[in-house]
Amino acid sequence: MGRYIVRRLITLIPTLLGVTLVIFLLLRLIPGDPAVAMLGEHAAQDNVERIREQLGLNRPLFLDREALKEGDFHGFFDSQYVRFLGRLLRGDLGTSIHRRIPIANELKQRFPATAELALISMAIAVAVGLPAGIISAARRNSLLDNVSMVASLIGVSMPIYWLGLMEIMLFAVALQWLPIGSRLEVSSTLEPITHMYILDSLLRWNWTAFVDAAKHMILPAVALATIPMAIIARMTRSSMLDVLQSDYIRTAYSKGLTERTVLFRHALKNAFLPIITIIGLQTGNLLAGAVLTETIFSWPGIGRWVYTAILGRDYPIVQGGTLLIALSFVFINLLVDLSYGFLDPRIHYE
């Protein structure tokens, strides 16, 4: 297992380099000059050139054409991309063009907000989708199975922005049961530790803040959980149906084992590999795709922050946020790969 982990970490290096290269190039293809976006369209040309000098935008992306023709590659180490990689290796993600604050400090506060929302949404999706898929497989073609699959189809098809607005209108405006937006009320006080407010309130034994943070979490988490919930339910049903038709399942029933024992001890364990794969992929998607949910509910997470930075041509924020999301995907995929060996003893890593 140790050798496999080391090999996987080594193979991640070219993957991460490719991610940095794609992020670097795609951002440069966005129309507009960040120096002009920062100073305004009517700014003096001297001021624009001065900002371009400060941000390093006047340097070549990789290598100047004239230097390339002459075979001089020394300028490559002074290019924008190499300087970008050098800052990443030092842990420096740059400074926001508009707010002039270090991006790493902003990520420490915003990424935990998105991670907390994504993890709780995935917990809801698994808690509802997994039992729904198991029951549908065990009661195949029954009324319960049909209702569950129709509900999952609606969950996959329902736009998040519409569901979020309907939740706000019903539970926040009409019934006034739950709050709208933000993560805590202004009157609540909580000294953050991890910047995951529900976890921090438990660590601080601050039950008032815990209840407040949980209330603010319900609406966005439920809205974000609908699509992965439906996907997990359908994948669980499909995987369980394949396993339930196996010979060893019929043998287990012939031994007089209860249906509960057969489903959870024998069938689910062997059907869990594709399910855990979907859970991992959907967790990564929640981290990267929470822009609409965070915008509707005014959630101060990384998705909304990066979206605003794209509109403002704030390259360093987009690069730092996108890179962090890519690293999260890589880490989640690594955990999923490692979980295969624990779920199925037939899988060996050596």
- Among residues 62, 89, 116, which one ends one of the domains? 89
pLDDT computed for residue 44 by the predictor = 79
SS3 category, 253: helix
Weakest-pLDDT range from 46-60, 84-98, 172-186: 46-60
Do both 208 and 334 map to the same domain? yes
Q: Are 113 and 195 in contact, with CB atoms under 8 Å apart?
A: yes
Do both 82 and 113 map to the same domain? no
Taking residues 214-228, report their average pLDDT: 91
Rounded percentage of the chain residues whose pLDDT exceeds 90: 16
More confident residue, 58 or 321: 321
pLDDT bucket at 290, cuts 50 / 70 / 90: confident
Do both 146 and 290 map to the same domain? yes
- Among residues 29, 59, 89, which one ends one of the domains? 89
Do both 155 and 295 map to the same domain? yes
- Rounded Cα distance, 201 and 106, in Å: 21
Torsion, CA 288, CA 289, CA 292, CA 295, rounded to 10 = -10
Do both 59 and 110 map to the same domain? no
SS3 category, 28: helix
Instruction: For residue 196, give the amino acid letter.
Output: M
Instruction: For residue 315, give the amino acid letter.
Output: Y
Rounded percentage of the chain residues whose pLDDT exceeds 70: 88
- Among residues 89, 121, 143, which one ends one of the domains? 89
Most confidently modeled range among 32-46, 94-108, 219-233, 323-337: 219-233
- CATH number, domain with residue 168: 1.10.3720.10
More confident residue, 183 or 6: 183
pLDDT exceeds cutoff 80 at 151: yes
Pick the closest to residue 299 from 124, 119, 111 (CA basis): 111
Instruction: For residue 236, give the amino acid letter.
Output: T
Do both 129 and 10 map to the same domain? no
Do both 78 and 114 map to the same domain? no
User: Which residues neighbour 325 within 8 Å (Cβ) at sequence distance 6 or greater?
Assistant: 287, 288, 302
- Rounded Cα distance, 149 and 234, in Å: 7
Do both 118 and 238 map to the same domain? yes
Q: Are 122 and 280 in contact, with CB atoms under 8 Å apart?
A: no
Q: Which DSSP string do the residues of 169-233 spell out, in sequence order?
A: IIIIIIS--S--SSSS-TT-----SSS-HHHHHHHTT-HHHHHHHHHHHHHHHHHHHHHHHHHHH
Do both 328 and 298 map to the same domain? yes
pLDDT bucket at 39, cuts 50 / 70 / 90: low
Whether residue 316 is contained in a domain is answered as: yes
Helix, strand, coil % in the chain, rounded to nearest 5: 75, 0, 25
pLDDT computed for residue 17 by the predictor = 84
Taking residues 47-57, report their average pLDDT: 74
pLDDT bucket at 345, cuts 50 / 70 / 90: low
pLDDT bucket at 88, cuts 50 / 70 / 90: confident
Cβ atoms < 10 Å from Cβ of 72: 12
Q: Which DSSP string do the residues of 126-167 spell out, in sequence order?
A: HHHHHHHHHHHHHTTTSHHHHHHHHHHHHHHHS-HHHHHHHH
Taking residues 191-212, report their average pLDDT: 90
Taking residues 209-228, report their average pLDDT: 91
Counting the structural domains of the chain, the total is 2
Do both 143 and 249 map to the same domain? yes
115 lies in which domain range? Answer: 104-343
- Rounded Cα distance, 48 and 55, in Å: 11
Q: Are 234 and 152 in contact, with CB atoms under 8 Å apart?
A: yes
What is the per-residue pLDDT across 228-269, written as a single tens digit (0 to 9) for each? 999 999 999 999 888 888 888 888 888 888 888 888 888 888
pLDDT computed for residue 350 by the predictor = 54
More confident residue, 76 or 181: 181
Do both 61 and 110 map to the same domain? no
pLDDT bucket at 295, cuts 50 / 70 / 90: confident
pLDDT computed for residue 3 by the predictor = 74
pLDDT bucket at 27, cuts 50 / 70 / 90: low
